[in-house]
Structure 1
Amino acid sequence: MGQSTLPEERTLTTLHTIALAMDTLAASGVPYERLLAGSGLVRSDLDTPDKLIRHTQELRVFANALACTRDPALGLSLGLRMHVSAYGILGYTMLASRTLRDALELALARPILLGTYFNLSLERDGDEARLVARDYRYAPELETFNTELCMTSLLTVVRDLLGEPVTPRRLLLPFAPPAHAALYADKLGCPVRFEAGAGVLAFDAALLDRPLPLADPVTCHSGLQQCLKLDARLSDRHDVLEQIRDHLDGHLRESATLHCVARRLHRSERTLRRHLQRLNTSYQRVLDEVRYDKARRLLADTDLPIYLIAEQLGYSETASFRHAFQRWSGQSPSLYRR
Structure 2
Amino acid sequence: MQNLSSTTAATPVAFVNAIVKAYVKYGKSPVHALESAQIAPELLENPGARISAAQMERISDAAMQELDDEALGWFSRRLPWGSYGMLARASISAPKLGVALQRWCRHHGLLTDDISLQVQTTNDIATISITENRDLGAMREFCLVSVLRNLHGVACWLIDSRIPLQGARFPFAAPVHHPVYAVLFSGATTFEQAQAQIQMDARYLDLPLRRNEAALQQMLQHALPLTVLQYRRDRLLVQRVRLTLATHPGQTRSANDLAALLHVSPRTLHRQLKDEGASLQALKDEVRRQRAQDLLLRTDRPIKQVAQAAGFQNEKSFMRAFKDWTGQSPAEFRRAADAAPKSPGG
TM-score of the pair, normalised by structure 1: 0.41
Higher relative contact order (CA 8 A, sep 6+): 1
TM-score of the pair, normalised by structure 2: 0.40
